[in-house]
Structure 1
Amino acid sequence: MLKKTFFISVLSLTFFCCSKNDTTEEENPNICEEGMNFSHEVLKTINSLELVEIIKTNDGGYIGLHHAEDFIIHKFDQNFSIVWEKTFSGSDIDRAQSIIQTNDNGFIVAGYSRSNDGDFDQNYGDYDIWILKLNPLGDLEWKKNYGGNSADGLSGKRSVVENENGKLTITGYTKSKFEGSEYKGGYDALLFQVTSEGELVFRKTYGGTKNDFGRELIINNSNYNVLLKYGSSDGSFNKEGNWILNSDDEGKIVWNTFLGGINSGSLTIDSSNNIISANTNFYELLLHKINLNGEIIDTKTINSLGSTKQYSINDIIVDQEGNISVVGDLGLGNDQDAFIMNLCTSFEQKFDKTFGGNDYDKIRSILPLRDGYLLTFNTFSNNLEGVNNNNTMSTFFLKIIKPN
């Protein structure tokens, strides 16, 4: 069954924006008025490519991970022409999940593998987590695997961060039994740290008798904030749903805060070092603002899209003006659409828009640009204006341009 096409067919969008006339948004964050016109353009379509994460690089270009059963990394210039590609593989399933640029302008690629040969030539049991360190040209500098007697993995983007001393901290999930950690049952959420050369510093697990996952990880005020999808109602925490766990640099829990919701969503940091969280119930977007002490200082529930499809969140950012942008999905499978929502710091809505064609459509990420935002889409649809899809899973980049 074909979906109704919602994709924008003209090159202008009307956003709502915060008034800056007499009172700044910092002085009164509740001011959020209508007024700006935005345009947009499709920058490029790349057929037969499904990017699951893309980040901006220090040279002005981008780097992304292809969804495949190998680790496939694509480096792009600022016009999304491919500069280099690298593939790392074994004979079984190998999947890259997260990428960051390191302090030395190289890259860390993190994922999981069930192989025991080729580039992934060690295995502790079932799936292991692998970290690959690449130089700026994509050449391998070192690789390490981390695992136990059962399955270990990563959930997706923002699974790894680097601190200013070069240590890497990673969140994921495990069914393995590690020395010094008590295995509770199902999957346990996993947090571990390694040196800049990949040597293990600490490893912690959190969980109950059901499945619990580490979803995302961000650094704030030198501590690590882990977004957890907690399926248990016992063990490390006492309630099923989404949590934020705040850990120091030794893996010790400083605080944890319950967020609720069904789907995990995403985290970011605002200019005041507050954590901004977006996750969902079935048909609602849940927003939270959490201070450095783990206290929820603002919250809002939104269902402005008028959709009966299930919401899920893929990314969230705060731009230089303090505006919050959330991107995600509506529905599942070939009936899936994508959406963007833009809000003021007070969580008052400025704009929301749904995108969709006649098949699967997904916004993977949003990046801030000097003059707007960059959206990365995956699509199977072949009727989107400006998108030259040849009936394969494709990636296209759409720029939303702010007015002068």
Structure 2
Amino acid sequence: MKHFLILFLCASIFTSCKKKSKISEDVEPPIPQPAFNAYAGDINEGENQAIISSDSSLIFCGTVGVYSHIFKMTRAGSKVWEKSFLAPNGKIASISESNSQDLFLCGSIFKGGYYQFLLIKANSNGDTLWSKYYGTPSVAASGLQIIKTTDGNLVMCGTSGSDIRMIKVNTNGDTLWTKTYAKVGTEFPVHLLETQNGELLVTCDYNNSMVNSSEVYLLKVNSANGGKVWDSNIGPVANRWVYSSCELATGEIVMCGKYKGGIYYDVMVIKTTSTGTKIWEKYFGRAEQHEMGYSIKRNQDGSVTITGYSQNEKDANTEVALLKLDASGNEVFFKRLGGTKSDIGYSILKDYNDDNIILGKTESYGPSSLTTNVFMFRTNKDGNY
């Protein structure tokens, strides 16, 4: 009897150990995280707020408290300098670099009783050289985007009332042309880029007041004189927002944003021809999660990579979303990265070797545990770090 009891107890212990081992196998291992380089401050939402400069550094716009700031970092994530601009009556939204390595900052300022476009020229160390303003009395205008064009000049894009306004200037800030593009409804430009043939492409959210619908609106403009080449409405589809676009080597256009088909948001990706005719529209995301794409860039092989955020409905915190699609819109990978609090990817830049440089805001990393911080991390083209 004594031997039987000993055997029974041994068998029970062995079975219990096996069960514990099985439970531990079922627990998902923690996902490895990239090295988040984080600094006090906040980064702007929107495209063209971050660039890789001619000396291969990163320069981007953000805020610290109520002041606009410009940050310069190495591509390894070390801060080079940080400069403060403006008081609460103005904001810098976008940045570009001239052929002479001067920096041009575009935004808006409340001056003379109304908001105007603001352009600041700074040297390569971020020191202000001059500021200029562009506006029409009694019409609120806001500069949102700036890019350098292949002819060495600069184009700013933003809003004038409910319409699109574009201003082309030389590097002295002298106006070459100003155009306002009006439609019935409200157009909000989210991205400005120069296409391979030297024309300007504006990607917009468009609220069509005639039919009460949300659409994606593309506008192609002649860079020499601001004349409209073509425009295209992609819609109407309710609950759809666009945030970024890129041009493929074929001239086709790919955009990203978000779409709410039910309770949850999905990452929305739309591909069009070079003249704005829709080829396909696709959605990506997990069940019971809010997910969206803020920034999209073309890879050297014709695929695209998107960053944004992912949020589980059971957790208020967000993760950085990193999504890669092939040229046909098939998912290559969808990674969700971050710490124990909220992290959001706002901008993706492509390094010379096709690596991804992700910039955004973080509550999980950095010097301040009470507010958001700016982060930067990098992956290779396959999303590995």
What TM-score results when the alignment is normalised by the length of structure 2? 0.79
2:293 to 313, 327, 333: 313
Give CA deviations for 1:271-309 in whole Å, capped at 9, x if unaligned: 22322212322223332333333333x313123322442
Matched, 1:269 2:252: no
Query: What is the aligned partner in structure 1 of residue 202 from structure 2?
Result: 226
Distance 1:147 1:105, change over 3 A: same
Query: What is the aligned partner in structure 2 of residue 27 from structure 1?
Result: none
2:357 to 374, 377, 380: 374
Question: 1:139, 1:388 → 2: CA distance?
Answer: 26
Counterpart contact for 1:45–1:388, Cα < 8 Å: yes
Distance 1:164 1:372, change over 3 A: closer
Q: Identity, % of aligned pairs? A: 21
User: RMSD value over aligned CA atoms?
Assistant: 2.9
Question: 1:42, 1:219 → 2: CA distance?
Answer: 33
Question: 2:36, 2:267 → 1: CA distance?
Answer: 29
Query: What is the aligned partner in structure 1 of residue 346 from structure 2?
Result: 364
**What are the within-5 Å matches in structure 2 for residues 54-73 of structure 1?**
54-68=50-64, 69-73=66-70
2:43 to 25, 44, 51: 51
- Helix, strand or coil at the partner of 1:301: strand
Matched, 1:245 2:225: no
Question: 2:379, 2:75 → 1: CA distance?
Answer: 16
Query: What is the aligned partner in structure 2 of residue 147 from structure 1?
Result: 135
Looking at CA atoms only, which structure, 1 or 2, has the larger radius of gyration?
Answer: 2
Counterpart contact for 2:77–2:377, Cα < 8 Å: no
Counterpart contact for 2:257–2:294, Cα < 8 Å: no
**What are the within-5 Å matches in structure 2 for residues 198-237 of structure 1?**
198-208=173-183, 210-220=185-195, 221-234=197-210
Query: What is the aligned partner in structure 2 of residue 399 from structure 1?
Result: 378
What TM-score results when the alignment is normalised by the length of structure 1? 0.75
**Aligned residue pair count:** 338
Gaps of 5+ in 1: 1-6, 12-39, 115-122, 176-186
Distance 1:84 1:107, change over 3 A: same
Distance 1:211 1:371, change over 3 A: closer
Gaps of 5+ in 2: 1-27
- CA apart distance, 1:190: 1.7
Amino acid at match of 2:121: K
Amino acid at match of 2:207: G
Question: 2:117, 2:325 → 1: CA distance?
Answer: 36
- CA apart distance, 1:351: 0.6
- CA apart distance, 1:376: 1.7
Amino acid at match of 2:373: S
- Relative to its length, the structure with more helix (as a share) is 2
Distance 1:390 1:284, change over 3 A: closer
Give CA deviations for 1:78-109 in whole Å, capped at 9, x if unaligned: 3333222222224x422111011222222111
Distance 1:8 1:343, change over 3 A: farther
- CA apart distance, 1:334: 5.1
